[in-house]
Amino acid sequence: MPHPLFVLNGSNLNMLGRREPELYGRTSLAEIERNTTSLAGELGLACDFRQTNHEGVLVDWIQEACLADAAVVINPAGFSFGCVPVLDALKLLRGPLIEVHLTNIHRRPAPYTHSLTSQVASGVICGLGPTGYLLAVRAVADALAAQRAGS
């Protein structure tokens, strides 16, 4: 049975391809979803890909992932930089948690340089555009394989 993987996306990511393409590129979130879901399936993961502009909805989804014992790839977007409820929800997770940012947040101006959610992530991938999602899915698959081998 495939291991559950939630790929959760925060605010304004539904506008990828239109929103500041010089910064975020022209790839739409739907394209990222297709590629991510396809790779996840190849790696034996059941991918549930979601996006919301609402903090409380994101918290609910993280809690749902916790209850499903799912691995999580998250691009919290603007929720990264000051959203304690999202941070607190992420602390509930027991499986791999990979944070993804399309841009290199360390090269961005304030307030985009310090992600609160990175404090609890297993790993952080930033600055590699849509490829970051694929690398995150591979990292989750590797982490789950290592867990199985160790148990």
Distance CA 102, CA 149 (A): 32
Residues 6+ apart with CB under 8 A from 92: 62, 63, 66
Do the Cβ atoms of 90 and 122 come closer than 8 Å?
A: no
Do the Cβ atoms of 69 and 26 come closer than 8 Å?
A: no
- Concerning whether 133 is annotated as a catalytic residue, the answer is no
Query: In the numeric block, which tokens belong to residue 62?
Result: 């993280």
Q: What are phi and psi of 70, to 5 degrees?
A: -85, 150
Distance CA 78, CA 82 (A): 8
Active-site choice (3, 24, 114, 133): 24
Active-site choice (3, 54, 101, 133): 101
- Concerning whether 24 is annotated as a catalytic residue, the answer is yes
By annotation, the residues acting in catalysis are: 24, 101
